[in-house]
């Protein structure tokens, strides 16, 4: 008997796309319901792009893009955005770097001027470089070196699963690599990756399409044209033998483990990839999910457990190769081997016996709710559409994601679970050194 299907509401956000002569791709999605705009610029450069010997450079460069530009002194970007009542930030991912603002609707031209100005050229000086190297090093101390479970598992698991430098290296960077970076390195990185042909601009919210198009052309049209660099081939063969390692975390009070399995190409085989996105939620999302109910509530073999696609946690902004991850924290003296065996048992049970009535519908409804909520705000919409344009040339896919998640079938989820075999698994175990 088939399980019940979820009723998934749809969005119909409008999408206007065009490309400037310099190669900059532009996505506009007007919404006049509130006088607020979201502006996002996404560059096709991320952690996987940084050269050997320059670990952490993609993230360092994100910092440098806030240190002034061709026409603006240091901190001017902050002052102009906040002075208009807006907020801003940027972030580095495996496959892209983004910069974004939320502003009142009447500040669109201000945001476009600011982003176009630093697209022409950030202020790359020795003082700015040394200052931001120190800032990034302090981030590493705070977020990784001096924090329990720092970098677990997004930094610690890729080198177990992958063999090539782009996929396996520490994206936060080594202090040696960061300290040896030069202004010339930064200028070369900018020329190569921060080209107009390697970027997408998205504007969402209270905009008139004709007026916004004119403003985009006015501010970005004379940004010098540089083509996108050729994307390297990041492919790696799948695992055929289980890989497992461990390390002692002197600050961690309790044991932990994370495992990952390769999944289909999230861009090239989207239909094959989606069942894994749903599977991760079936296994771990909420108290009624498979692994939480079994391992946290019934067996008490773990104290907390989560699952997701992609090492940085968003299934719809990552390219191949990527993975489905499960991570768990264990009680004092917890048995990691037993935890992994239990996961294998539950995957086998799901693949063999299928889902209970209502289990899939409940999961899909919750996933659709999260997707709809994430793009309800204009900035979330602009960011999602910019990345979808960047990676797929399909910003309108944003409207279809909830429905597509809801169309994944029980058979597809079962088939996905059947592929998560121990011999295809990479695992990293945290041995607590701070328990004394």
Looking at every residue in the chain, the average pLDDT score rounds to 95
The torsion region of residue 185 among left (phi > 0), alpha (psi -120 to 50) and beta comes to alpha
pLDDT in tens, 72-123: 998 899 999 999 999 999 999 999 999 999 999 999 999 999 999 999 999 9
List, for residues 260-277, the tens digit of each pLDDT value: 999 999 999 999 999 999
CA neighbor of 386 nearest in space, from 59, 62, 100: 100
Band (145; pLDDT cuts 50, 70, 90): very high
Cβ-count burial of 165 within 10 angstroms (0-12 exposed, 13-18 middle, 19+ buried)?
Answer: middle
Q: Are 178 and 133 in contact (CB under 8 A)?
A: yes
Torsion of CA 58, 64, 70, 74, to 10 degrees: 170
Please check the confidence at residue 399 and state whether its pLDDT lies above 60: yes
What pLDDT sits at residue 185?
95
pLDDT tens digits, residue range 31-57? 999 999 999 999 999 999 999 999 999
Q: Does pLDDT of 252 surpass 90?
A: yes
Residue with tokens 């240190």: 67
Q: Residue 1 — very low, low, confident or very high, per pLDDT cuts 50/70/90? A: very low
3-state SS assignment for residue 327: strand
> Phi/psi at 103 (nearest 5 deg)?
-145, 160
Q: Which residue has the tokens 């289990």?
A: 359
> What is this structure's pTM?
0.95
Query: Would you say 322 and 263 are in contact if contact means Cβ atoms under 8 Å apart?
Result: yes
Structural domains in the chain plus CATH codes: 16-221 (3.30.830.10), 243-432 (3.30.830.10)
Query: Average pLDDT for residues 2-17, to the nearest whole number?
Result: 80
pLDDT band at 338 (very low <50, low <70, confident <90, very high): very high
247 token code pair? 């390390």
CA distance 299 to 297: 6
210 by Cβ neighbours in 10 Å (0-12 / 13-18 / 19+) ranks as: exposed
Mean pLDDT of 366-378: 94
Q: How far apart are CA 292 and CA 346, in angstroms?
A: 11
- Give the DSSP letter of residue 188: H
Mean pLDDT of 386-405: 97
> pLDDT tens across 318-330, in order?
999 999 999 999 9
């Amino acid at each position: 008997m088939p399980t019940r299907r979820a009723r998934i509401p749809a969005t119909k956000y409008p999408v206007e796309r065009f490309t400037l002569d310099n190669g900059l791709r532009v996505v506009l999605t007007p919404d006049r319901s509130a006088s607020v705009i979201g502006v996002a610029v996404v560059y096709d450069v991320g952690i996987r792009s940084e050269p050997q010997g320059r670990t952490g450079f993609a993230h360092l460069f994100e910092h440098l893009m806030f240190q002034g530009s061709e026409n603006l002194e240091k901190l001017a970007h902050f002052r102009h955005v906040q002075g208009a009542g807006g907020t801003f930030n940027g972030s580095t991912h495996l496959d892209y770097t983004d910069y974004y603002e939320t502003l009142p609707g009447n500040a669109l031209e201000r945001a476009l001027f600011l982003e176009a100005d630093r697209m022409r050229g950030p202020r790359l000086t020795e003082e700015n470089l040394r200052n931001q190297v120190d800032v990034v090093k302090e981030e590493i101390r705070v977020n990784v070196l001096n924090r329990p479970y720092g970098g677990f598992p997004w930094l610690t698991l890729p080198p177990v699963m992958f063999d090539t430098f782009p996929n396996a290296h520490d994206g936060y960077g080594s202090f040696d690599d960061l300290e040896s970076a030069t202004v010339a390195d930064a200028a070369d990185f900018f020329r190569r990756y921060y080209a107009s042909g390697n970027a997408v601009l998205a504007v969402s919210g209270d905009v008139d399409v004709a007026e916004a198009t004119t403003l985009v052309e006015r501010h970005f049209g004379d940004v010098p044209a540089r083509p996108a660099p050729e994307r390297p081939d990041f492919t790696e063969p799948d695992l055929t033998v289980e890989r497992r390692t461990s390390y002692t975390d002197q600050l961690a009070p309790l044991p932990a483990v994370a495992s990952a399995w390769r999944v289909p190409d999230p861009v090239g085989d989207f239909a094959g990839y989606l069942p894994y996105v749903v599977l991760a939620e079936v296994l771990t999302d909420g108290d009624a999910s498979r692994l939480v109910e079994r391992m946290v509530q019934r067996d008490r073999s773990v104290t907390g457990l989560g699952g997701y696609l992609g090492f940085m946690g968003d299934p719809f902004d990552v390219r191949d190769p990527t993975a489905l991850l499960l991570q768990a924290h264990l009680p004092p003296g917890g048995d990691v081997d037993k935890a992994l065996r239990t996961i294998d048992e539950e995957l086998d049970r799901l693949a063999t016996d299928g889902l209970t009535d209502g289990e899939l519908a409940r999961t899909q409804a919750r996933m659709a709710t999260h997707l709809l909520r994430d793009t309800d705000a204009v900035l979330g919409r602009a960011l999602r559409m910019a990345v979808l344009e960047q990676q797929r040339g399909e910003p309108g896919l944003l409207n279809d994601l909830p429905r597509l998640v809801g169309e994944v079938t029980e058979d597809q989820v079962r088939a996905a679970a059947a592929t998560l075999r121990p011999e295809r698994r990479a695992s990293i175990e945290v041995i607590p050194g701070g328990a004394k």
